[in-house]
Amino acid sequence: MSMASKPSGEHILHRLKALAEHFRTSNSSQSLPSLPPTPAAAQLTNRAAVLICLFLTDIGELRVILTKRASTLSSHSGDVALPGGKRDVSDADDVATALREAEEEIGLTPSLVNIITVLQPFVNKKGMTVVPVLGLLSSKEAFNPTPNAAEVDAVFDVPLEMFLKDEKRRAEEKEWMGYNYLLHFFDYECENEKYVIWALTAGILIKAASLVFERPPAFLERPPRFWSASANSSKTSYAQQ
């Protein structure tokens, strides 16, 4: 057991719990981005939300829950992703979307998740706005993953701090409209399975890790510009990254 890492993890956990309590009482957060405004109904078809669900292990390590998308899906089959999906007209807000999708995909009961904050939206290569919702699992023992076989092949978790380190990371330089950017790839292996976390999912987790641990990554980010473009002006269907 790493005695050095546990106090740090517990300190971060205490801060995240305080932020979650503040979010519950005021729908805003301290030192992290505030809740974006709810879009008009016409924009919901081009909007999605994902859940960054964290939990603390017995050795004081913060980990995040991820999925491997089903190989039968028509898009991004077999890719590693955060639980989430498209906004539904019945969803009250982006938080509701992320929680509903997580329950549908991996059986995560919404009441087990304490929302910490909502990060600034990303825009994917097809122009869809993706809103990351940061949450804290209240009880790891109470969560028994039940993946929806039609959408998810596997549910696993990785250390959040991994997305700030150079270890197990590689990058590819790409070009878009005259601008060179980097796509980061993080390799992770557990239970004899190898996973690659990359593209938008990696970008979201780098941002989340930077906010949670209050420090920048140990590598140059240089993300694609379209990730932060306005969803209303992103009409281009970007080529596969």
| pLDDT digits 0-9 by tens, 96-138 | 999 999 999 999 999 999 999 999 999 988 889 999 999 999 9
pLDDT at 126: 84
Long-range contacts of 137-141 (CB under 8 A, 24+ apart): 137/53, 137/54, 137/55, 137/65, 137/112, 137/113, 138/112, 138/113, 138/114, 139/112, 140/55, 140/57
Which of these, 41, 134, 122, lies nearest to 89 by C-alpha position?
A: 41
pLDDT band at 72 (very low <50, low <70, confident <90, very high): low
- What is the crossing angle of helices 5-26 and 199-213, to 10°? 100
pTM for the complete prediction? 0.85
pLDDT at 34: 47
pLDDT at 11: 86
Distance CA 133, CA 120 (A): 9
Q: Are 169 and 151 in contact (CB under 8 A)?
A: no
pLDDT at 144: 94
For residue 159, what are the contacts with CB-CB under 8 A and spacing of at least 6? 61, 62, 63, 64
Distance CA 107, CA 89 (A): 21
Distance CA 90, CA 33 (A): 25
Radius of gyration of the chain from Cα atoms? 17
Pairing of strands 62-69, 169-176: unpaired
Higher-confidence residue of 130 and 24: namely: 130
Distance CA 132, CA 203 (A): 11
pLDDT at 239: 40
pLDDT at 14: 87
pLDDT at 36: 55
Position 6 pLDDT exceeds 50: no
Going along the chain from its start, the domains and CATH numbers come out as 5-233 (3.90.79.10)
pLDDT at 74: 52
Which of these, 122, 209, 197, lies nearest to 163 by C-alpha position?
A: 209
Give me the chain's average pLDDT, please: 85
Q: Are 114 and 19 in contact (CB under 8 A)?
A: no
Structure tokens at 34: 């505030």
Position 4 pLDDT exceeds 50: no
Q: What is the mean pLDDT of residues 169-185?
A: 93
Structure tokens at 31: 């030192």
| pLDDT digits 0-9 by tens, 130-176 | 999 999 999 999 999 999 999 999 999 999 999 999 999 999 999 98
Judged by DSSP in three states, 76 sits in coil
| pLDDT digits 0-9 by tens, 34-69 | 445 556 555 667 899 999 999 999 999 999 999 998
Position 233 pLDDT exceeds 70: no
Higher-confidence residue of 238 and 128: namely: 128
Q: What is the mean pLDDT of residues 7-28?
A: 80
